[in-house]
């Protein structure tokens, strides 16, 4: 995946009901297929980082964050950032909860390095480590509206550095005091919707990720606009 370059989403209005992909974003963003390949087992490779995704990430809730960034584009950046540091990525889905901290904590228990990235459908993410309690973590990114694709890639690179035993400088975050009042309502609804996909007691599953490039026809249609 050496040519991983994130797609820039068109400014689409977030829509949170229904499962079909958002037309405005998928015209220019990659499509992603997530195939379950069995129950996720604990890894033994010390050079891996687990990407633990929430129950609805990638194939529900319009397949985009609350600001309209396609989940496929985010996944592409996470995989690329980890690879750039010479570390392997493994993707799992955590079904039992929609809580970001507990998704990440579950991921660390399955990661060979003990390092995991967790991400929710709305875009919030964190980096977690196995020997930390669930509500503690290495780096937390709670304001999804302030995260862009380059930031997700940098988050992944930092996760890989932690896996190598490094002590990277935490990823800088832009703090917008108006973000919370502007996005709180839609963020809450997003989380409620995602929680509806939780399967209590279900084990995490291993995922095979396929990211497809936009087809030529889509590019042509976009260019004609």
pLDDT band at 184 (very low <50, low <70, confident <90, very high): confident
Let me know if 91 is exposed, middle or buried by CB neighbors in 10 A (0-12, 13-18, 19+). buried
CATH number of the domain enclosing 169: 3.40.50.10150
- Assigned domain for 199 exists: yes
Q: What are phi and psi of 53, to 5 degrees?
A: -100, 155
Rg, the chain, Cα only: 16
- 58 is a domain residue: yes
Q: Is residue 16 part of a domain?
A: no
- Across the range 156-176, mean pLDDT stands at 93
Range of the structural domain that residue 127 is part of: 23-213
- Alpha-helix residue ranges (DSSP H) falling in the chain: 23-26, 71-84, 100-110, 149-163, 179-195, 216-223
pLDDT of residue 224: 44
DSSP-derived secondary structure letter, 18: S
31-39 and 205-212: which strand pairing?
antiparallel
Burial of 48-86, coded b for 16+ CB within 10 Å and e otherwise, reads: bbbbbbbbbbbbbbbbbbbbbbbbbbbbbbbbbbbbebe
The span from the CA of 145 to the CA of 124, in Å, is 9
Count of domains observed in the chain: 1
Report if residue 221 sits inside a domain: no
Q: Is residue 1 part of a domain?
A: no
- Is the residue at 8 inside a domain? no
- Residue 138 banded pLDDT, cuts 50, 70, 90: very high
What local confidence, expressed as pLDDT, does residue 60 receive?
86
Question: Looking at the whole model, is its pTM more than 0.75?
Answer: yes
Mean pLDDT of the chain: 84
pLDDT beyond 90 at 92? yes
Query: Please, which pLDDT band fits residue 28 given cuts at 50, 70 and 90?
Result: very low
Query: Quick check: is 5 in a domain?
Result: no
Residue at 225 is within a domain: no
Q: How far apart are CA 72 and CA 48, in angstroms?
A: 21
């Amino acid at each position: 995946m050496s040519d991983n370059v994130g797609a820039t989403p068109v400014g689409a209005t977030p829509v949170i009901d229904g499962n079909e992909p958002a037309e405005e974003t998928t015209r220019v963003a990659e499509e992603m297929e997530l195939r379950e390949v069995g129950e996720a087992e604990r890894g033994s490779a010390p050079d891996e980082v687990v990407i633990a995704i929430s129950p609805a990430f990638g194939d529900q809730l319009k397949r985009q964050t609350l600001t309209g960034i396609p989940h496929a584009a985010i996944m592409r950046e996470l995989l690329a950032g980890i690879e750039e540091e010479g570390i392997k990525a493994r993707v799992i889905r955590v079904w039992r909860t929609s809580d970001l901290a507990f998704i990440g904590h579950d991921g660390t228990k399955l990661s060979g390095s003990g390092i995991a990235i967790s991400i929710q459908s709305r875009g919030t993410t964190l980096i977690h480590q196995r020997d930390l309690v669930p509500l503690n973590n290495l780096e937390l990114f709670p304001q999804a509206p302030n995260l862009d694709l380059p930031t997700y890639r940098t988050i992944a690179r930092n996760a890989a550095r932690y896996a190598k035993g490094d002590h990277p400088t935490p990823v800088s975050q832009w703090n917008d005091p108006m973000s919370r009042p502007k996005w709180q309502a839609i963020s809450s609804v997003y989380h409620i919707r995602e929680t509806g996909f939780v399967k209590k007691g279900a084990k995490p599953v291993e995922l095979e990720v396929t990211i497809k490039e936009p087809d030529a026809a889509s590019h042509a249609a976009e260019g004609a606009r």
